Amino acid sequence: MVLRVLHIWNTAGVASVIAKFVDREFGAESRVITRRAADRVGLTTYGTAYPDGPARFFFRALQMSAWADVVHVHSLDRIVPWVRRLYGKRVVMHYHGTDIEGRWDEKRQRWSRADYVAVSTPNLLEGGPESAVHVPNPVDTDIFRPTGARREPGSAVSFRYGMDAEAVEAAKRLGLKLTMVERWSVPHERMPDLLSKYEYYIDMRRPPDHAVARSIGRAALEALGCGAKVVDWSGKVVDALPPENDPRRVAAKWYEVYTGLIRQPGAFRRGR
């Protein structure tokens, strides 16, 4: 029997990478769906971004949930109670940042209906249930690898994300020549070429109405995959992609979760 997994929404392109490698490594059949309006730079490299409005997409996602053995929801937690009520499916609720940070109590009626609750960075566990689990984000190393472009020594790049002054200061402290790029201005397919041109990526992010992001971001992980060094939010220099972000390792973790949910549906629901 082939495991069928439906990913609803594609926050930061994470669903596409998980689905691609779970299918490749374990022979599963995964579908990734999101709205085209939510994917301005083409992050959905595996799956489909539909030209739906919010209501039509919600209805589409509910209909497609009937096909799956496991429904893996990213960020769009309001759909979780509906999937459970209509189909009784095994549901994963996967949070990625400001969708849950500081909001665990507010969203309890949604995430508590899931069989498994995961977060993409460890800081998001704060205030959450004991059963919530940190599963690192994978990097698609088929795409994000050194391109062979000449990397200018002493160069750095950073995306504008609420901490421009801090990025400039970090570059000055390390003696780097910094290029600032507008967030969401670079299509996903062009990111490897951009990130392979610079020696450093400076990862300074402050989402609107939130504190400084205390984790390595998606673009920073992709820069590491392309062979750049990363200066993180604390000023620490990271010079290689952490093994925990290897897509095969992450795929193995998720396959274990999916098959565990099917064998023992209540196994992960303790401590809520």
Q: What is the pLDDT of residue 163?
A: 87
Whether the predicted pLDDT of 267 surpasses 70: no
Residue 199 CA to residue 67 CA, distance in Å, equals 46
Any idea what the CATH number is for the domain that residue 238 is in?
A: 3.40.50
Cβ atoms of 89 and 112 closer than 8 Å: no
Whether 91 is covered by a domain: the verdict is: yes
Does 269 map to a domain?
A: no
Q: Pairing relation of β-strands 237-238 and 229-231? A: antiparallel
Same domain assignment for residues 132 and 9: yes
Q: Please, are residues 183 and 230 in contact by the beta-carbon 8 Å criterion? A: no
The answer on 93 and 56 residing in a single domain is yes
Any domain includes 143: no
For residue 231, the enclosing domain spans 152-244
- For the purposes of burial, counting CB atoms within 10 Å of the CB of 233, is it exposed (0-12), middle (13-18) or buried (19 or more)? buried
Q: What is the rounded distance in angstroms from the CA atom of residue 55 to the CA atom of residue 100? A: 22
Nearest Cα residue to 47 out of 68, 62, 60, 30: 30
**pLDDT value, residue 140:** 98
| Closest C-alpha to 41, from 16, 23, 18 | 16
**Residue 36, CA distances (Å) to 33, 44, 77, 131, 215 in order:** 9, 9, 19, 33, 27
Tokens of 156: 């750095």
CATH number where 119 lies: 3.40.50.2000
* Per-residue pLDDT at 210 exceeds 60: yes
Q: Are 52 and 60 in contact (CB under 8 A)?
A: yes
Pair type for strands 29-35 and 198-202? unpaired
Q: Is the pTM of this model over 0.75?
A: yes
Separation CA 265–CA 56 (nearest Å): 30
d(CA 211, CA 204): 11
With respect to residue 66, please indicate whether it lies within any of the assigned structural domains. Answer: yes
Least reliable range by pLDDT among 7-11, 57-61, 91-95, 145-149 = 145-149
Closest CA to 189 of 155, 136, 142: 142
Average pLDDT over residues 74-99: 96
* Residue given tokens 């610079």 in the structure block: 198
Are 220 and 201 a contacting pair, CB within 8 Å?
yes
pLDDT at residue 271 greater than cutoff 80 = no
Q: In the 8-state DSSP scheme, what is residue 69?
A: S
35 and 78 part of one domain = yes
Counting every residue, how long is the chain?
272
Cα angle 80, 10, 219; round to 5: 135
Q: How confident is the model at residue 161 (pLDDT cuts 50, 70, 90)?
A: confident
Q: How close are the terminal C-alpha atoms of the chain, in Å?
A: 32
Say if 147 falls within a structural domain. Answer: no
How many domains, the chain?
A: 2
How confident is the model at residue 162, as a pLDDT? 84
Q: Which string of b and e fits 172-183 if b means at least 16 CB within 10 Å?
A: eebebebeeeee
